Amino acid sequence: MPLRPSLLATLVAVIWGVNFVVIDLGLGDLPPTLFVALRFLAVLVPAIFLVPRPAARWRDVLLVGTFMSLGQFGLLYTALALGMPAGLASLVLQAQVGLTVLFAAAALREVPTRRQVIGVLVGAAGLIVVGLGRSESTPALAFVVTLAAASSWAVGNVVQRRSGGGAVGRSWTDGLSMTVWSALVVPVPMLGLALWTDGPDAVGHALTHLTPAPLLSTAYTAWLASLVGYGIWNGLLARYPASAVVPFTMLVPPVGMAAAWLVLDEVPNVAEVTGGAVLLLGVAVTTGVPHRATARRGVVVGGGVGGDVVRGDKRPAEESNGGPGRAETRRSLS
């Protein structure tokens, strides 16, 4: 890609990487489920009155929201509240890449390529190293809940892939519309869960004593990470081959871990760094980053916060740039 769109893609990766630290900072004053409800309420209003409804069926829109927003972020926020380090969470969540390949093979009968199988195995090995070598300050339950969040994201990717909705090649607004409208399923269940687990008194006190931290965090995650981030990202995917855009999401975990080190004083140990590097290598192999110049026919799952599912064509990416053979990309949520 030219310099300007490359810088925009890098900016989005930075926004999404910092997002984990911003969430962690806001969790100090709010129950995690209530925090998720507020985030997606901010995603909905006023965007739902401005963004057209996605072309996908209502059932698929609701399923995408259930797994990709309600499940993923409900579990992620809970994991952070349980003690999962923000930087490590940005890394472990990338397990969704390999999980999406596995779930797509089981649910959609999409047979993974040899490269994807190797990438999944390498990523799994890295994840095992991170899990076994994690710091004593990282609770096992928080690590498992983060993996559950990655699994929910992966299921959402498969639903999005199956729905056929939000093909960004048609319009940059398609992915954004799915982001906004699928958020409909989040606020009420999350608020109900907060009332059940924390009690009406705690929820009422939290809502009537909001401090700047959760308010600013909600604004960042809803408007900057979700709406602005995906507006830029989907615009890039509408104009350039996915094979040129998707690799930029590999910057998200390093940015997340660096931001957590600078802001939260989180320093990963040797096992976490080593396992994380192996995990990202697996993500790179699975997404085809080493071979992105020639996108092969099949499912290629983009790492990072976006969770792309890409069907590539056989022509070199530079030949398909902007042409009718450009890769068709299905977008998910932030």
> Which two three-digit tokens encode residue 290?
């080493």
CA dihedral of 234, 238, 239, 243, whole degrees rounded to 10: 80
**Which residues make beta-bridge pairs with 330?**
167, 309
**Would you state the structure tokens that stand for residue 201, as one six-digit string?**
């008194």
Beta carbons within 8 Å of 200's beta carbon, 6+ residues apart: none
Q: Residue 306: CB partners within 8 Å, gap ≥ 6?
A: 230, 233, 246, 249, 331, 332, 334
How many CB atoms lie under 10 A from the CB of residue 253?
Answer: 29
pTM over 0.85: no
pLDDT at res. 32 = 92
Helix axes 270-287, 96-108, angle to 10 degrees: 40
- 3-state SS, the chain, equals CCHHHHHHHHHHHHHHHHHHHHHHHHHHHCCHHHHHHHHHHHHHCCHHHCCCCCCCCHHHHHHHHHHHHHHHHHHHHHHHHCCCCHHHHHHHHHHHHHHHHHHHHHHHCCCCCHHHHHHHHHHHHHHHHHHHHCCCCCCHHHHHHHHHHHHHHHHHHHHHHHHCCCECCCCCHHHHHHHHHHHHHCHHHHHHHHHHHHCHHHHHHHHHCCCHHHHHHHHHHHHHHHHHHHHHHHHHHHHCCHHHHHHHHHHHHHHHHHHHHHHHCCCCCHHHHHHHHHHHHHHHHHHCHHHCCECCCCEEECCCCCCCEEECCCCEHHHHCCCCCCCEEECCCC
pLDDT tens sequence for the chain (334 residues)? 788 888 888 998 899 999 999 999 988 778 899 999 999 999 999 889 988 888 878 888 899 899 988 999 999 999 999 999 999 998 898 888 888 888 888 887 878 888 888 888 888 898 888 888 888 888 999 999 999 999 998 888 888 777 654 343 445 566 678 888 989 999 999 999 999 988 999 889 888 888 888 899 999 999 998 888 877 876 776 677 665 676 777 788 889 889 999 998 888 888 888 988 888 888 888 777 655 444 444 444 444 443 333 333 333 433 333 333 333 333 333 4
User: What token pair was written down for 314?
Assistant: 């056989």
